[in-house]
Amino acid sequence: MEGTVERTASALGEITSSFEIIIAEDGSIDGTDKICESLAKKYDFVHHLHSDQRQGRGRALNRAFRASRGEILGYIDVDLATDMSHLKELIQSIRDGYDFATGSRMLPQSNVKRPFKRGFASKGFNYLTRLMLGSKLYDHQCGFKSFRREALFSLIEKIKDTHWFWDTELYVRAQRAGYRVKEFPVVWTQGGTTKVNLVKDVFGMGSQIFRLWYEFLWD
């Protein structure tokens, strides 16, 4: 964890002189909360948000963004699966006028290393999202995203999912609202451990696609 914080801070320091790193630790029971506490004490730019109970990825992100102070917000997966050389483009995209930006593992120029079955499931999910929800993006779930604060907070209350579908719903709603969204290729390597349950979460996210499709049907 400390290595992640140090690498992220180093990369951010080359882009801006003012930044904060918020760790939204979601009811961990393996001692991660203690590590996060110590990091917040060690570094002034680190803020630790703890939850005694598991609330889900979406709720954790909501808490982190509401606690933030910046005008350009973003999040990255803690395992740094996306190469940090892309962080400058992620931030610069918002500076250049985009409202939302996201790294992509699905573009032809992307360089991705992941097990076949996870790649296959992800392609199927993204295809359905494009087909049923009208999204123009090829990868909705890469954990490497940035936003303009005002744009994010104009949509955050509308997001109903509290888990893995959170960012997909956000980016679909952003496109429907007419915001400028940038997708760019990244170098991405899957980390060692994942909390994604392939069967359970694929079915769960599939049901969320249908839920959002049905909502849009009556808009």
* pLDDT of res. 198: 55
Summarize pLDDT for 8-45 with one digit per residue, the tens: 999 999 999 999 999 988 777 788 888 999 999 999 99
Please give the residue range of the domain that contains residue 97.
2-217
Mean pLDDT of the chain: 91
Question: Is there a catalytic annotation at residue 167?
Answer: yes
Rama region for 169: left / alpha / beta (φ>0; ψ in -120 to 50; rest)? alpha
Q: What is the pTM of this model?
A: 0.91
Tokens for 144, please give them: 């490497």
- Average pLDDT in the 101-118 region? 90
Active-site residue, from 26, 139, 161, 167? 167
Tokens 């579908």 found at = 165
Residue 202 predicted with pLDDT over 70: no
Apex CA 50: angle with CA 31 and CA 5, to 5°? 70
* Domains in the chain, number: 1
Residue 114 has pLDDT above 90, yes or no: no
In 3D space, the residue among 154, 162, 146, 152 whose CA is nearest the CA of residue 205 turns out to be: 162
For residues 58 and 195, the model is more confident at 58
Q: Is the pLDDT of residue 176 over 90?
A: yes
Residue 197, pLDDT > 70, answer no
Q: What distance in Å separates the CA atoms of residue 90 and residue 94, rounded to the nearest whole number? A: 7
Pairing of strands 100-104, 181-185: parallel
Between the CA of residue 116 and those of 108, 181, 185, what are the distances in Å? 17, 28, 19
CATH number at residue 63: 3.90.550.10
